[in-house]
Amino acid sequence: MNYINEDLIGAYDGANFEIIKETKTSIEDGETQYTISHLKYKSDVLHRYYNSEYSAKVKVGDCTDCGFDASAFDGVTWGDVLVLGLGLGVVPEYIKNVKTPTSIDVIEEDQEIIETIDYINSDINLINHDEWSYNTNKKYDIVIADLWAEPDDISEDHKTALENNYKINLKTGGKIIIPISGDVIS
């Protein structure tokens, strides 16, 4: 089901993305109607960020019966967290509410998305910057790269770029995780 209250999310047609509200029928009873939002990049036919607790659980390793390998998250410390990519804000909001991190920073290169996703917890620090070149002196326990729709979209060059840019920002024992593929870079 939905993770963020749908009343807080408005339909939107932006320069590079749109937020679409769809009416769906529950698979549990085949009758109950509900609304779910998703953010879709105009340049990407497949990649969508859904307002779904399921999606958030998969991307932080909390969905053990979903068919995804959550072992990448074994031993993770949820202290200082960096998320690459904002989407609808579901993943950082879930982390804030369920994992209770010390801090959570989110890097999003599209300022319009940051301005549109104005309903997430004010303790989540949104930073407008390219996810591939952001530099900081801050050290993180975990970096979650939520930048792809499919594991096949991830190249070795992507992994190398993430490692080269963020490895210096990991605390001892920290991990860079690509949740869609289960890759751990650290």
Q: What is the pLDDT of residues 102-142, one digit of tens each?
A: 999 999 999 999 999 999 999 999 999 999 999 999 999 99
| Residues forming a β-bridge with 83 | 106, 144
Exposed, middle or buried, 62 (CB in 10 Å: 0-12/13-18/19+)? Answer: middle
Q: State the Cα–Cα distance between residues 175 and 139, nearest whole angstrom.
A: 11
- Average of per-residue pLDDT across 149-158: 76
Closest by Cα among 152, 131, 153, 141 to 177: 141
CB 106 within 8 A of CB 86: yes
CATH code at 152?
3.40.50.150
**Residue 153: is its pLDDT beyond 80?**
no
Do 117 and 143 share a domain, yes or no?
A: yes
Q: For a pLDDT cut of 70, what percent of the chain falls above it? A: 95
Mean pLDDT of 52-66: 87
Q: Judge whether 42 lies within some domain.
A: yes
pLDDT at residue number 143? 97
**Mean pLDDT value of segment 151-156:** 75
Residues 129 and 158 in one domain: yes
Strands 183-185 and 103-108: unpaired
**Both 46 and 106 in a single domain?**
no
* Beta-sheet pairing, 103-108 with 80-84: parallel
Q: Indicate left, alpha or beta for 173 from its phi (over 0: left) and psi (-120 to 50: alpha).
A: left
Residues 178 and 115 in one domain: yes
Distance, in Å, from the CA atom of 143 to the CA atom of 90, rounded to the nearest integer, reads 16
Number of folded domains that form the chain: 2
Kindly state the average pLDDT of the residues 4-17: 95
> pLDDT band at 45, cuts 50/70/90?
low
Q: Are residues 158 and 122 in the same domain?
A: yes
6 vs 181, residue with greater confidence: 6
> Which residue range(s) make up the domain with 42?
6-50
Indicate whether this model's pTM tops 0.75.
yes
Average pLDDT, integer, range 24-50? 84
Confidence of residue 154 (pLDDT cuts 50, 70, 90): confident
> Which of 36-40, 43-47, 67-71, 97-101 is most confident?
97-101
